[in-house]
Structure 1
Amino acid sequence: MANIQKALVVPAKGTDFVVDAAFPIPVPGNDQLLVKTKAVALNPVDYFMQKTGMFVETYPAVLGLDIAGEVVKVGEGEVASKFKAGDRVIFPGGLGISEKNGFQQYAVADAKFSAIVPPNVSYDEAATIPLGLFTAYYGLYEAVPKGLGLTSFAGPDGVQAYTGQAIFIPGGSSSVGTGAIQLAKLSGFKFIITTASLKHTDFLKSIGATHVLDRSITVDELRAALKEIEGLPEIKYAYDAIGDLDTSFRLALEAVVPKGNVVTVNPRLVYDSPDKDGKVTSKFMTERSSPSGEAHMRNLWGDLTRLLETGALKGSRPEILPGGLAGIPAGLDRLAKQEVSGVKLVARPEETL
């Protein structure tokens, strides 16, 4: 096996991406896997990191946090020994850790955060899952003030603790929103109400949403729409999967009852107090490396293969970018301009010319 590969790199802070045809292939350490990157999905954080240097400590830097691929080498260690060459795996990249990221033809994965991709799921679909799903999971099940503090369905003590209850999730067609909808269904929620472009209604209902409202709905219109839902219990929980103070967050606050809980994906969102309008508000940045974040990750990833195999969890709909790694910059430009709706942009590094 060669020791160089093609990688899309940021040479220095704030510079444009460049395809490097002689970038070193990383070496897996203890309890790590070397994975041939079959598909990598794009996220807004990728262009923020490229433009601002956020989370990046060393250059040239490789980005890309949503990865699916084939194991080509297994490192030493008990956890890594559960995998073998040829396994199809899914795993999240590492913020600011180039060797773990997916804008390259080979990446290193932590075995403890890797899961087998079942045969019924393509690499392209699998690559849409890690970051959005874990963000959704963390926001739902992490304790206040970083999450809603729900009881997870996953893990040894998992239960469907919210049978018959209602949750509101503005931004349902985003990768975080689709993850939150599916996790809410697994947690037993009877009413899962979301907002999105109405062209995505059929897809969102197929993954668990019970009611899809137009994404441009106003607070007054939301109030009226909720009154029209027959049998709707009081909404105690809302998950703002967009993080806009003037739109999605206001809708989330409106939907829940006094003393209800609202979480937003925007970690920098500033609002009056943690108890706004008598409602408990949380904001977060997913913390996979924290003790609670690692526990959440283990619970979810330990059950992920089964959930994908049974169809209980699905990825976002992938849109394949042309040109392999070379197609990523144009895709990130589309994300920056908010020109992507209802799909996840995916690149196949091995298609790089």
Structure 2
Amino acid sequence: MSTQQAVWLPGIGQDFSVGPREIDAPGPGELLVKIISSSLNPLDWKIQETGFFFIKSYPAVIGEEAAGTVEAVGEGVTDFKEGDRVFFQANMGSNEFATFQQYCIVVADLAAKIPENKTFDQAASVQIGIIPFAVALYAQQPQGLAHLAPWIEGGNGKYTGQPIVIMGGASSVGQYSIQLARLSGFSPIITTASLHNAELLSSLGATHVLDRKLSTTALKDAIVKITSIPITLVFDAISLPGTQQTAHDILTTGGTKSEDKVLHPVFGSFHEPPNRELGKSFMPVLTQWLADGTIKPNFVEVVPGGLNGVSSGLQRLKNNLVSGKKLVVRPWETA
């Protein structure tokens, strides 16, 4: 049996190690992809520290998104062929789908082709960043809020004049959220971030960038100066206790009780059955939007060492040492 190099997590709270793993064959509706670039995400270090409900057994291979070339296609796949350049979100929960390795299995319906003017590194930064907002706003209830997506007829610019606040605009999720909010027509688009990222976020569509260090009271005061329209939609791209509480506090309600506010947790995945059709409709559009510049990918930094760089890169994310860009590793540079 052919083998590859993979990053193994022996158990919750343990250190990663690089070692061999078999190369899987694609089943019906699947692709085998040679991973050229794999991105690092905050959830990865959280899985390492505390586990995740999708990970049923250890040792485990994790990793949430990547980009690469199609090596083989499974039965029934007609939209892809060997050699196609693709990017994708991993179907978490089984080692063969994880992206901290040199090959993985990909669900063909939810893969997208990389446009010629984008690199593997750029493409590897996209799906985990853009899908959470897409699910939160455009998936049907209870998964999302059932807004009309901007890639669906009648959805582009539909919410013109409705304000939105995005917590953590400089994060990967925040940057893509700003861009989708712009396409949906939300205005003003108010985001919090370190102010050195203000120019970047304005270029993506944010109309106002407020210092993420502002107190909740100061943030509410600043928002009132920007718009007199009540804030009825806040998206938290950071999802830490502090940002969640601030997001809750700046929401406008019709009454005085917390129960008047709807807090909607989101699992940002198109692999969940209720979200599959939404994801399938989005993939070809996402390829086109990246090609024509409608959606701009994150700035990317390559962490050296191939798969050996995963651990140090995740430590930087954990220590909040990454701002305004995405970290990726190149599995085939593993020594």
TM-score (norm 1): 0.88
Q: Secondary structure at the match of 2:158?
A: coil
- Structure 2: which amino acid aligns with 1:8? V
Alignment of 1:170-209 (within 5 A): 170-209=167-206
Identity %: 40
1:94 is matched with 91
1:35 is matched with 33
Alignment of 1:283-294 (within 5 A): 283-294=265-276
Say whether the 8 Å CA contact 1:144–1:282 is kept in structure 2. no
1:256 corresponds to 2:251: yes
CA root-mean-square deviation: 2.2
Say whether the 8 Å CA contact 2:86–2:111 is kept in structure 1. yes
2:300 is matched with 318
Change (3 A) 1:72 1:143: closer
Change (3 A) 1:113 1:214: same
Change (3 A) 1:157 1:24: farther
Residues of 2 paired with 1:121 and 1:5: CA distance? 26
Once the two structures are TM-superposed, the CA of residue 202 in structure 1 deviates from its matched residue by 1.1
1:265 is matched with none
Once the two structures are TM-superposed, the CA of residue 314 in structure 1 deviates from its matched residue by 2.0
1:242 corresponds to 2:270: no
- Structure 1: which amino acid aligns with 2:57? T
Residues of 1 paired with 2:11 and 2:187: CA distance? 49
Residues of 1 paired with 2:57 and 2:216: CA distance? 45
Change (3 A) 1:156 1:28: farther
Alignment of 1:122-271 (within 5 A): 122-143=119-140, 146-155=143-152, 158-229=155-226, 233-246=229-242, 248-259=243-254
Quick check: 198-207 or 220-229, which moved more? 220-229
Residues of 2 paired with 1:17 and 1:256: CA distance? 40
Residues of 2 paired with 1:287 and 1:89: CA distance? 18
Change (3 A) 1:154 1:337: same
Deviations 1:179-235 (A, max 9, x none): 211110110113111000111111111111111000101122122212332x65333
Once the two structures are TM-superposed, the CA of residue 335 in structure 1 deviates from its matched residue by 1.7
Residues of 2 paired with 1:219 and 1:88: CA distance? 45
Residue ranges of structure 1 left out of the alignment (5+ in a row): 261-272
Q: Secondary structure at the match of 1:285?
A: coil
Change (3 A) 1:46 1:149: same
1:72 is matched with 71
Change (3 A) 1:243 1:49: closer
- Structure 1: which amino acid aligns with 2:59? P
Say whether the 8 Å CA contact 1:286–1:293 is kept in structure 2. no
TM-score (norm 2): 0.92
Residues of 2 paired with 1:244 and 1:294: CA distance? 27
Residues of 1 paired with 2:15 and 2:249: CA distance? 42
2:50 is matched with 52
- Structure 1: which amino acid aligns with 2:38? V
1:114 corresponds to 2:114: no
Residues of 2 paired with 1:44 and 1:206: CA distance? 24
Say whether the 8 Å CA contact 1:166–1:232 is kept in structure 2. no
Say whether the 8 Å CA contact 1:258–1:277 is kept in structure 2. no
Q: Secondary structure at the match of 2:67?
A: strand
Once the two structures are TM-superposed, the CA of residue 341 in structure 1 deviates from its matched residue by 1.9
Change (3 A) 1:257 1:149: farther
1:328 corresponds to 2:310: yes
Q: Secondary structure at the match of 2:221?
A: helix
Change (3 A) 1:277 1:223: farther
Say whether the 8 Å CA contact 1:140–1:180 is kept in structure 2. no
Change (3 A) 1:14 1:249: closer
1:270 is matched with none
